[in-house]
C-alpha cells in the first residue's frame, strides 16, 4: 500500500506526519465473559454495637464517636447520627442489635398505616414531626404494629 509522507522542515523541529489506518468493525458480537472479580464486602440490615447506657427495645439509636449506641433525639446532635432502631433492650456495655433498614415488628399498635414515622426525643417516635430541632423520618408504618425502617435525611426546623 503506498504511503504519502509529508515532511515539514523548520530550523527547530522536523515533523513527519503519516496517515493512520482506521478499522471499523460492524456486526461484531460480544466476546466471552471474563473471570468473576473478587467478592465485595457483605451488606447487612443489622448492626450490633455496645450500648452506652441502658437502651430499651424499639428505640431509635445513634452511633457515638466511640462506636457505641445511645438514644437519638431530635433535640440534640444525636439526631444527625441515627443508625436505626434497637430490636431489643440492652444494659450499659452489652451488645444491642440495631435494625438499620427493613421491617421491624412493633410491640404496640401505635401506628397509622401508610404514615411516616419521625424521631422525637429519647429514641421515641411519632407520626408528628417535631416543631423545632432536628426533623428526621425514620420509617413508614406498614401496619399498626409494623415499621419499615428507612432513615431519611435530617434537617433543622425552627
Chain centroid to Cα 152, Å, comes to 10
For 59, the domain range is 46-157
**Assessment of whether the complete model's pTM goes beyond 0.75:** no
Q: What is the CATH number of the domain that holds 141?
A: 2.40.300
Residue 26 falls inside a structural domain: no
pLDDT tens for 67-96 read: 999 999 999 999 999 999 999 999 999 999
Residue 73 falls inside a structural domain: yes
Task: Count how many domains the chain has.
Answer: 1
Residue 25 falls inside a structural domain: no
pLDDT tens for 130-152 read: 999 999 999 999 999 999 999 99
Half-sphere exposure of 128 (CA within 13 A, CB side): 4
Helix (H) or strand (E) holding 1: none
Question: Residue 90 carries which DSSP code?
Answer: B
**Mean pLDDT score of the chain:** 89
In 10-71, beta strands by DSSP E: 14-17, 46-50, 60-63, 69-71
Residue 60 falls inside a structural domain: yes
Q: How far apart are CA 89 and CA 123, in angstroms?
A: 12
Residue 20 falls inside a structural domain: no
Amino acid at each position: 500500500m503506498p504511503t504519502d509522507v509529508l515532511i515539514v522542515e523548520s530550523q527547530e523541529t522536523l515533523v513527519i506526519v503519516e496517515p493512520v489506518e482506521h478499522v471499523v468493525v460492524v456486526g461484531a458480537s460480544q466476546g466471552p465473559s471474563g473471570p468473576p472479580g473478587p467478592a465485595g464486602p457483605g451488606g447487612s440490615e443489622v448492626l450490633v454495637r455496645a450500648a452506652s447506657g441502658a437502651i430499651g427495645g424499639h428505640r431509635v439509636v445513634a452511633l457515638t464517636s466511640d462506636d457505641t449506641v445511645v438514644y437519638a433525639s431530635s433535640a440534640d446532635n444525636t439526631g444527625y447520627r441515627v443508625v436505626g432502631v434497637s430490636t431489643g433492650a440492652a444494659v450499659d456495655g452489652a451488645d444491642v442489635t440495631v435494625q438499620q433498614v427493613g421491617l421491624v415488628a412493633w410491640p404496640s399498635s401505635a401506628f397509622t398505616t401508610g404514615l411516616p414515622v419521625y424521631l422525637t426525643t429519647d429514641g421515641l417516635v411519632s407520626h408528628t414531626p417535631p416543631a423545632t430541632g432536628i426533623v428526621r423520618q425514620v420509617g413508614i408504618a406498614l401496619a399498626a404494629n409494623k415499621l419499615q425502617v428507612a432513615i431519611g435525611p435530617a434537617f433543622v426546623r425552627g
